[in-house]
Amino acid sequence: MLLDIPEPLPIDHVALRGAADAPALVTRDGTLDYAALEAAVGALAHWLAGQRLVSGARVATWSPKTRTACLMPLAAARAGLVHVPVNPVLKRAQVAHILGDSGAALLLTQGARLAALEPGDVPAACRIVTEEEAQGGGHLPPSSADPQTLAAILYTSGSTGRPKGVMLSHANMWLGAVSVARYLKVTSHDRVLGVLPLSFDYGQNQLFSTWAGGGCVVPLDYLTARDVVRAVERHAITGLAGVPPLWVQLLEAKWPDAAAASLKRLTNSGGALTPKLVRELRARFPAADVYPMYGLTEAFRSTYLAPELVDTHPDSMGRAIPFAEIMVVRPDGSQAAPDEPGELVHAGPLVAQGYWQDAERTAQRFKPAPAWSRLGGMAVWSGDTVRADDEGLLYFVGRDDEMIKSAGNRISPTEIEEAVLSGGEAAEAVALGVPDPRLGQAITVVARANGDARAAEAALRDRMRRELPSFMQPAAYVWREAMPRNANGKLDRAALKQEMTP
């Protein structure tokens, strides 16, 4: 699999992958088949080319999942520009940072959003254009760009500190699309509901991988889990991607039998699925294959667990996706033994080009692959601790910067969270290490209860005493009616950490 890497193409060529008359994109503006998708990408690229921007100029979009927002990643690349998608839920200070940091020359947005901005938020050199103005005739043919050319900058969610811009080439995005379409077995019969932000690598790849497989994408901006259920029912959706907090909400929603049965594929990233959540997804959506996945923006996606292994290995991250080499590395750079924890290192053509205008942080994360790597070259050193079993299946242990150090023990917050959630007392939970003068760090669990919080805590403490050793016992539980989420829908662990730290 490592040697089976196809020649990459410019990313806009993905609009040519499906049958001309097959549906490709469904938005409020109607349905585009693949012939119309290609024409629309060419027309928008022609308009962009007419804006007389220099090659490689950054063009930002700040919109919900409109037709234009879905076309821009391909149209900007076709026009020789670098696309910078801005999550529509971000506030003005975050938008201003991304526009200024990227040096955006053009911001394409909706007129109604401009009222949220204040003087100085948009750099003087950045022109603002509304989607209604981005019209015109003409057609720009498919790009002939070098696939290694920079095509997009995706900014991390940045719950604390300033978001970092990850630089992606045409090749990164093309091979990511082909890889995912291959292992998910996407076909022209698939109708994929796009609920994740297009500024999130996972959400953007849903467009590309679905089109790489010849399927149809139905982007959705939703407010409640019920909106997702209705969309699945209305569009006969076969594929749905989510992050763990969304699955919790969807499992709490009421599903018509026909809607639940239409789903054939569920994919998860942005946090591990607990064994309990896997069981509940299998029960609610019995016709669906479940694909647990692990990824990081700096290399897009690293591993997936094949559906046939989910029941027997529900807590595994699986193995490397096509075109990726995944290694477990000791601190001295050597290969970890089976079941020995080490840092996950990702090598291969999905590795991004570094952080935009940030050589220092690029050097910290992007380093040469270990000498024993089969693919070599530049690799992403993830900062995540994992282990591999005798069969080569990977298991997440924790992030180095999130591991709890209590009374001389290194404790995985993931392990605590899985234990807390396994009994059903809590619907969602985050385990944190809070400074403690005696222990160094004390384990604090922030959670949302199923039912009464006081009763949930009593039952939970009793069960934890039976199931976990003394050094892993949470010292405190903090109950919330709602858990905070970041811009990509994940539980906002960094914000909770900041709040809980005196």
Write the pLDDT tens digit of every residue in 271-325: 778 888 899 999 999 999 999 999 988 998 999 999 999 999 988 999 999 999 9
pLDDT tens digits, residue range 419-432? 899 999 999 999 99
Residue 1 has pLDDT above 50, yes or no: no
pLDDT for 472 equals 87
Measured CA to CA, the distance from residue 234 to residue 32 in angstroms comes to: 17
Measured CA to CA in angstroms, residue 371 lies from 132, 205, 377 at distances of: 53, 31, 10
For residues 169-195, average pLDDT: 98
- pLDDT digits over 121-131, tens only? 999 999 999 99
- Which among 139, 152, 115, 109 is positioned nearest to 127, based on CA atoms? 109
Dist. CA 323–CA 329, nearest whole Å = 19
Q: How many Cβ atoms from other residues are within 10 Å of residue 60's Cβ? A: 28
DSSP 88: T
Query: pLDDT tens digit string along 431-486?
Result: 999 988 778 789 999 999 999 999 999 999 999 998 887 888 999 999 999 999 98
187 touches 22 (CB < 8 A): no
| pLDDT per position as a tens digit, 220-268 | 999 999 999 999 999 999 999 998 889 989 999 999 999 999 999 999 9
Q: Indicate the class that CATH gives domain 26-145.
A: alpha beta
In Å, what is the CA distance from 221 to each residue of 195, 266, 346, 498?
6, 18, 32, 29
Percentage of residues in the chain with pLDDT exceeding 90? 80
Q: How do strand 239-242 and strand 191-194 relate by DSSP bridges?
A: parallel
Q: Angle 67-78/34-49 helices, nearest 10 degrees?
A: 60
Q: What is the mean pLDDT of the chain?
A: 93
pLDDT band at 161 (very low <50, low <70, confident <90, very high): low
Could you tell me which residues are beta bridge partners of residue 109? 62, 130
Burial class (CB in 10 A: 0-12, 13-18, 19+), 498: exposed
Q: Where are the beta strands (DSSP E) in 123-261?
A: 127-130, 150-155, 165-169, 191-194, 216-219, 239-242
Judged against a pLDDT cut of 90, whether residue 91 lies above it is answered with no
Q: How many residues does the chain have?
A: 502
Question: What are the boundaries of each domain within the chain?
Answer: 26-145, 404-500
Q: pLDDT at residue 99 above 60?
A: yes
- Label residue 90 left, alpha or beta by phi (over 0 means left) and psi (-120 to 50 means alpha): beta
Cβ-Cβ contacts under 8 Å for 252 (sequence gap 6 or more): 225, 427
Is the predicted pLDDT of residue 410 greater than 80, yes or no? Answer: no
245 burial (CB, 10 Å; 0-12 / 13-18 / 19+) is buried
159 has a pLDDT exceeding 70: no
Please check the confidence at residue 158 and state whether its pLDDT lies above 70.
no
- Does residue 2 surpass a pLDDT of 70? no
| Rounded-to-integer distance, Cα 57 and Cα 104, Å | 7
Q: Can you tell me the distance from the alpha carbon of 11 to that of 150, in angstroms, rounded to the nearest whole number?
A: 11
Looking at residue 22, the DSSP 8-state letter turns out to be S
Which CATH superfamily groups domain 404-500?
Answer: ANL, C-terminal domain (3.30.300.30)
- In the prediction, which pLDDT does 157 show? 61
- Give DSSP secondary structure letters for 372-387: T-SS-SEEEEEEEEEE
